[in-house]
Homo-oligomer: A and B are copies of this chain.
Amino acid sequence: MFEKQVYTSRRQALVKAMGSESGILLFIGNAESPAQYRDNGYKWRQDSNWLYFWGIDEPLFAATIDLESGEETIWSTDFDVDDIIWMGPMPSVSEQAAGVGVSRTAPYGALDEYIAKARAAGRRIHFLPASRYYNAIKLSKLTGVPADDCFSAGKAGCPAASEAFVKAVIGLRLIKEEREIAAIDAACDLGYEMHTIARKGIRLGRIEQEIVGDMEAVTLANGWGVSFATILTQHGEIFHCHSHEMPVAPGKLMVIDAGAETNIHYASDFTRTYPTGGVFTQKQRDIYQTVFECNELAFSMARPGVEYRDCHLAVARHMLENLRDLDLVRGNIDDMVSEGIAGLFMPHGLGHNMGLDVHDMEDLGENLVGYDEGQTRSSQLGLGSLRMARKLQPGHVMTDEPGIYFIPALIESWKKDGSDKGFVNYAKLADYYDFGGIRLEDDLLVTEGGARRLGSKRLPIAPDDVESAMAND
């Protein structure tokens, strides 16, 4: 947690950003999330919007701001002796509220009547999309909106949420404060440690799951844990491969996409790809070199005023040029870029915002978070998955993660339906069906003059550096 003034000034800025809107801002903090049943939960994690404005890292809190009177209230229930036996002594709700600059508190259960009265008086209840099902049920009970319509459904957020509220929150959280940048740097340093242990752990015959265990130990020993479920796979062409039962096999590429979350809940997110035997084949090196160049290209372009969407497109262009040199695609580069041919090889976006969440604020709706007014999201494969397209500003934090993959099911699908528009050399591509995939990811901060890679050290990434690091591990 930060000092009290951080939270009071963030809330002042929020109310100011709400402009002429009236009514009540309603925040629902998280409950414990059951793994198997109510009392056996996953590791406690507070809602990120709650953490940003109210800081208190405990379950079953809510808060309201009355936009007319300015009155702020924190709703939660004090511990009794039974709670103390199980959970230990805990500061009172009013003590916790005072720590974030709030003087008015009331029991959690009293929120229902407060909201009911406000609704009866015709006042608008502004709420954010619920990122968890508990919060959707709670919002539904308070507002009368069906729970499904309160749950964040991804790209569009959710239909019942207050767009003014959502936009005001995004406006604040998108530009990171100095203290947040320091926190993200710390998360990146922890991510460096976890990736270094992983790289040192790649030995032929070892079970992937053992390396995952080593990585998570580092994050648990020094932080909250992993910022998302670790991807560690010799099938890099499967983006979210969470099966880790394979032994490390010779001649494969190992994609490790993983990050750490610190104790104050800021995230990092890095990807490296390693030759399992420590040395790239020429075929692997050709593709790796291209992905490496794309990663460097995006970084070199990132600066205030540039649209990150244009960085994605520049990466797509460079990738297609190199793939044409390898005779995997044939034809005019401009045409291939506009037809979205790069999507066959990189069906995801160049990057996403990062902060308290590894995909920052995704619960608020990908489009509102990642796109400026006037920017339209593409429907092309790849570009359509771009989560951060905005014109860059100092304080933006996002990932730079180009990749090239050979996905047999996707290639066959394009071949069948003609999505390649004749640009793809399927005969040559047939040699790559067992290649897997390569992704290389760093985390960037947009600065006044350009961009900076976050974290105090960069994981080895140039192909020669990777090979020499592995030789020395």
Contact = CB atoms under 8 A, between A and B. Distances in A.
Interface stretch (A4-12, A42-50, A301-309): A42-50
A134 B446 CA distance: 38
Contacts of A132: 33-34, 133
A61 to B, nearest CB: 17
B41 A229 contact: yes
Nearest to A359: B40
Contact of A221 (B41, B214, B220, B240): B214
Interface in A116-173: 131-134, 136-137, 140-141, 147-148, 151-154
A37 B85 contact: no
A45 B36 contact: yes
Contacts of A141: 148
Contact of A213 (B41, B218, B263, B409): B218
Nearest to A267: B36
Interface in A23-62: 33-45, 47-48
A427 interface: no
A359 B40 CA distance: 8
A275 B84 CA distance: 24
Interface of chain A: mostly helix, strand, loop or mixed: mixed
A22 to B, nearest CB: 28
A242 interface: yes
A443 to B, nearest CB: 16
Contacts of A313: none
Interface residues of A, number: 70
Nearest to A356: B36
A219 B222 CA distance: 18
Interface in A231-285: 235, 238-242, 245, 263
A407 interface: yes
A242 B42 contact: no
Contacts of A35: 33, 42, 45, 228
A133 B134 contact: yes
A87 B216 contact: no
A401 interface: no
Contact of A216 (B44, B147, B217): B217
A40 B358 contact: yes
Contacts of A229: 41, 43-44
A87 B238 contact: yes
A468 to B, nearest CB: 27
Interface string A415-452: 00000000000000000000000000000000000000
B220 A209 contact: yes
B36 A131 contact: yes
Nearest to A87: B240
A413 interface: yes
A36 B220 contact: no
Contacts of A152: 37-38
A38 B153 contact: yes
Contacts of A88: 235, 238, 241
B216 A210 contact: no
A464 to B, nearest CB: 31
A240 B358 CA distance: 28
7 contacts: A34-B131, A34-B133, A36-B356, A36-B358, A42-B42, A87-B240, A140-B147
Interface of A: 33-45, 47-48, 81, 84-89, 131-134, 136-137, 140-141, 147-148, 151-154, 207, 209-210, 212-214, 216-222, 228-229, 235, 238-242, 245, 263, 347, 356-359, 362-363, 407, 409-410, 413
Given A37-B357, A85-B239, A87-B239, 19 more contacts: A33-B34, A36-B357, A36-B359, A36-B362, A39-B362, A42-B42, A43-B229, A86-B238, A86-B239, A133-B133, A133-B136, A136-B137, A137-B151, A140-B147, A210-B222, A213-B218, A213-B220, A216-B217, A216-B220
